Structure 1
Amino acid sequence: MYLTKEVKKEIFKKHGGNENNTGSTEGQVALFTHRINHLTGHLKKNHKDYNTERSLVMLVGKRRSLLDYLKKKDIQKYRELIVELNIRK
């Protein structure tokens, strides 16, 4: 599987402060971004996989709402996260 426990821990350690802080907004956005990148690569090969396409759209919406929350809460962290994860907008 592409998303193992070690990968999740490393993502949350890098973006959430420590590996046990799984509820941080930055960590959640980083995890969603990792999953979105994986699903995008999958859809490039399997363009008729509509269930994955729907899942991808829902994930992008969740990430967008978390980014909007972070933007209202702390604009500086939002800007840093956007640059670090290479997210448009």
Structure 2
Amino acid sequence: MSHLTTEKKASIFAEFGGKATNTGSIEAQVAMLTERIAHISKHLQANKKDYSTHRGLMQMVGQRKRLLTYMQKNNLQGYRALIEKLGLRK
């Protein structure tokens, strides 16, 4: 019952990771987390009292923040390109 189909995941990994099988790249992981965060945020707007999902959302946001911090320290140009492409940190 996932909103992300295998094809959609593969296209995200191909776009951000270089190829569909490169699931471990930081860019691909951040893009996947961003997609999941957007979906869960929409769910929580309709289901305000779903506290366990809210906790999971906060964990995902924290994970994405840690990955972006790592990327900012180690690959500043890639970090800037990624946040521009994903529309983060306006």
* TM-score past 0.5 threshold: yes
TM-score (structure 1 length as normaliser): 0.97
Identical columns (%): 49
Which residues of 2 match residues 9-88 of structure 1 at below 5 A? Answer: 9-88=10-89
Q: How far apart are 1:87 and its partner, in Å? A: 0.9
Q: How far apart are 1:78 and its partner, in Å? A: 0.3
Q: Which ranges in structure 2 are unaligned for 5 or more consecutive residues?
A: none
Q: Count residues with an aligned counterpart.
A: 89
Q: Which ranges in structure 1 are unaligned for 5 or more consecutive residues?
A: none
Q: Distance in 2 between matches of 1:54 and 1:5?
A: 25
Q: How far apart are 1:4 and its partner, in Å? A: 1.1
Provide the alpha-carbon RMSD of the alignment: 0.8
Q: What do residues 16-61 of structure 1 show as CA deviations (whole Å, max 9, x unaligned)?
A: 0000100000000000000000000000000000011000000000
Q: How far apart are 1:88 and its partner, in Å? A: 1.5
Q: Distance in 2 between matches of 1:57 and 1:88?
A: 17
Secondary structure of 1:87's partner?
coil
TM-score (structure 2 length as normaliser): 0.96
Q: Distance in 1 between matches of 2:70 and 2:7?
A: 27
